[in-house]
Amino acid sequence: MPGLLSMLRGGALGIGVTSCLVNILALTGSLFMLQVYDRVIPSRSLPTLIGLMGIVVTLFAFQWLLDLTRSLLLGQVGRTVDERFAGRAFSLIALSASRKPKQDAGVQSIRDIDTVRGFLSGPGPGALFDLPWMPFYLAFCFLFHTWIGVTAATGALILTGLACLAECKSREPIRKTAILLAERMAFADAVRHNSEVVVAMGFATMLSTRWASLNQRHLDSHQHSATLVNTLSTLSRSARMLLQSAVLAVGAVLVIRQEATGGIMIASSILVSRALAPIELAIAHWRGFAAARQAWARLNHEAPEVDDAERDVELPAPRGSLSVTNLHLGAPGSKTPIIRGLSFDAYAGEAVGIVGPSASGKSSLARGIVGLWPAFAGDVRLDKASLGQWSRTALGRHIGYLPQDVALFDGTIAENIARFDANAPSDLIIAAARAAGVYDMIVGLPLGFDTEIGERGSILSAGQRQRIGLARALYADPFLVVLDEPNSNLDAEGELALSRAIESVRSRQGVVLVIAHRATALAGIDKVLVLEGGRTKAFGPAQAVVNTAPGSMAVSGSFVRLLRAGGELSS
In tens, the pLDDT along 244-302 reads: 788 888 888 888 888 888 888 888 888 887 777 787 777 777 777 777 777 777 777 76
> Count of CB atoms within 10 A of residue 179's CB?
15
| CATH classification (class only), 321-398+513-571 | alpha beta
Task: With beta carbons less than 8 A apart as the criterion, state whether 480 and 322 touch.
Answer: yes
Distances (CA, A) of 569 to 15, 353, 453, 499, 516: 69, 11, 34, 17, 8
Mark out the alpha helices in 403-489 (DSSP H runs): 413-417, 426-435, 439-443, 462-474
In tens, the pLDDT along 57-97 reads: 998 898 889 888 888 887 777 777 777 777 666 666 666 55
In tens, the pLDDT along 398-452 reads: 999 998 888 788 889 999 999 888 889 999 999 999 999 899 999 998 999 999 9
Out of 1.20.1440.120, 1.20.1560.10, 1.10.8.50, 3.20.20.20, the CATH code matching 2-302 is 1.20.1560.10
Query: 567: pLDDT confidence band, cut at 50, 70 and 90?
Result: very low
How far is it, in rounded angstroms, from Cα 243 to Cα 120? Answer: 30
Query: 234: pLDDT confidence band, cut at 50, 70 and 90?
Result: confident
Domain residues of the chain, as ranges? Answer: 2-302, 321-398+513-571
* Fold agreement between 2-302 and 321-398+513-571: no
- Using the predicted structure, report yes or no on whether residue 373 has a pLDDT greater than 90: no
Distances (CA, A) of 393 to 300, 311, 407: 24, 11, 19
- Using the predicted structure, report yes or no on whether residue 554 has a pLDDT greater than 50: no
Task: With beta carbons less than 8 A apart as the criterion, state whether 402 and 470 touch.
Answer: yes
Q: What is the pLDDT of residue 326?
A: 94
How far is it, in rounded angstroms, from Cα 202 to Cα 378? Answer: 48
In tens, the pLDDT along 203-232 reads: 777 778 888 888 888 888 888 877 877 787
Average pLDDT estimate for 368-381: 90
Which helix (H) or strand (E) covers residue 149, if one does?
helix 146-193
Ranking 31-45, 104-118, 473-487 by mean pLDDT, the lowest is: 104-118
Residue 460 backbone phi and psi in degrees, to 5: -100, 155
Average pLDDT estimate for 112-123: 78
Query: Which residues touch 149 (CB under 8 Å, ≥6 apart)?
Result: 138, 139, 141, 142, 143
Task: With beta carbons less than 8 A apart as the criterion, state whether 542 and 355 touch.
Answer: no
Q: What is the pLDDT of residue 89?
A: 66
- Using the predicted structure, report yes or no on whether residue 115 has a pLDDT greater than 90: no
Q: What is the pLDDT of residue 565?
A: 42
- Using the predicted structure, report yes or no on whether residue 307 has a pLDDT greater than 70: no
Q: 3-state DSSP call for residue 424?
A: coil
pTM, full prediction: 0.66
Closest listed residue to residue 518, CA positions, set 558, 568, 565: 568
Q: What is the pLDDT of residue 551?
A: 46
Amino acid at 391: S
- Bigger pLDDT: 304 or 503? 503
**Dihedral of alpha carbons 407, 409, 413, 419, sign:** negative
How far is it, in rounded angstroms, from Cα 27 to Cα 247? Answer: 17
105 in the Ramachandran plot: left (φ > 0), alpha (ψ -120 to 50) or beta? beta
Closest listed residue to residue 516, CA positions, set 565, 462, 563, 474: 563
- Using the predicted structure, report yes or no on whether residue 559 has a pLDDT greater than 50: no
Amino acid at 98: S
